[in-house]
Structure 1
């Protein structure tokens, strides 16, 4: 029996390597990963990454929610990411460039995170090279989601953006504050309230 939801995500990616279709190889990989994972229980609003630091860990959201945000030159906060459980969390730009992040990442509810350092992940991939395909697929899906969000911000009105969000993110209104949702959608709280009522502006 799998201990964490992480493995459900890993083994459900498209184009799964043949090696990971074999139960014995899966169990071997799980055993190694389990020995390297750190489990963290965090309180609501606890920050796991802040500007000036390098994102050298990948987190898996076992339970709870999290968001990534930044402040513009005028001190206004903007929500860039919202993550639900079963999500992989990091600042990809900082992680791959080895440069300091400009984001805050914090949990939005009491949450459980699995943590793996970049160094440990490299060791695991060195031992199981076919895992790299899975990791690449996860990050590629993250890229596609970001691209779609940019396209939605450009082409859709607030009502349609909100409807798209609720379809892809069940119970989002119960998991995040309204100002965070409005910021993520690139609108105001007042416009978000009207969008929920289906009022086109």
Structure 2
């Protein structure tokens, strides 16, 4: 739980008493490589704070082609938020790319924390805002950047992920073929 406190205190300092009231809302889980947190059609019952490991969020089209929406590493939050917040079935898959540890937070707990603790409401609002900004950056990058620019931006923003994620998945995320990624990598 030390990691949880450190993570929250990056945005909202807590007293020991406040943290003691917050801790029970989170459940610890170990996740094995290739295990799913969520699959399309599931009820999305939690959002996850990643303590260790890397996850891949993706959508499968009708032909089984995978479209990577997001990677998530240590200190990131991940969920199929459309399903989580709206009570709908998941449309995305979230799978573990290496053995990992997460903290789970259900929506009722999240809402109660946000209602009862102004600091947590601020924390959640800032995390969602940052995620929204990152999503916009990704969309604009896909629409207006060259593959080389997308590759360089990914490397600058997420150097730790470049080392952990197989190039096949980085290529998918960037919207290029594996061969194109190899050329971009060799031009680095």
Which of the five TM-score ranges fits, normalised by the shorter chain?
A: over 0.9
- Give the Cα–Cα distance (whole angstroms) in 2 for the partners of residues 120 and 131 of structure 1: 11
1:198 maps to 187
Q: Aligned-pair distance for 1:71?
A: 0.8
Q: Aligned-pair distance for 1:185?
A: 0.6
1:133 paired with 2:122, answer yes
1:123 paired with 2:123, answer no
1:76 paired with 2:65, answer yes
1:64 paired with 2:62, answer no
- Give the Cα–Cα distance (whole angstroms) in 1 for the partners of residues 144 and 186 of structure 2: 20
Structure 2 residue aligned with 1:96, among 81, 85, 100? 85
TM-score (norm 2): 0.92
Query: Any unmatched runs of 5+ in structure 1?
Result: none
Alignment of 1:149-160 (within 5 A): 149-160=138-149
Aligned length: 188
Q: Aligned-pair distance for 1:147?
A: 0.5
- Give the Cα–Cα distance (whole angstroms) in 2 for the partners of residues 160 and 54 of structure 1: 37
Query: Any unmatched runs of 5+ in structure 2?
Result: none
Where does structure 1 differ by over 3 angstroms across 4 or more consecutive aligned residues? none
1:11 paired with 2:13, answer no
Q: Aligned-pair distance for 1:173?
A: 3.3
TM-score (norm 1): 0.87
Work out whether residues 51 and 100 of structure 2, in 8 Å CA contact, stay in contact via their aligned partners in 1.
yes
- Give the Cα–Cα distance (whole angstroms) in 2 for the partners of residues 28 and 126 of structure 1: 17
Deviates more, 1:168-177 or 1:66-75: 168-177
Structure 2 residue aligned with 1:168, among 157, 168, 172? 157
Structure 2 residue aligned with 1:185, among 162, 170, 174? 174
Q: What's the secondary structure of 2:176's corresponding residue? A: coil
1:173–1:129 CA distance, 2 compared to 1 (3 A): closer
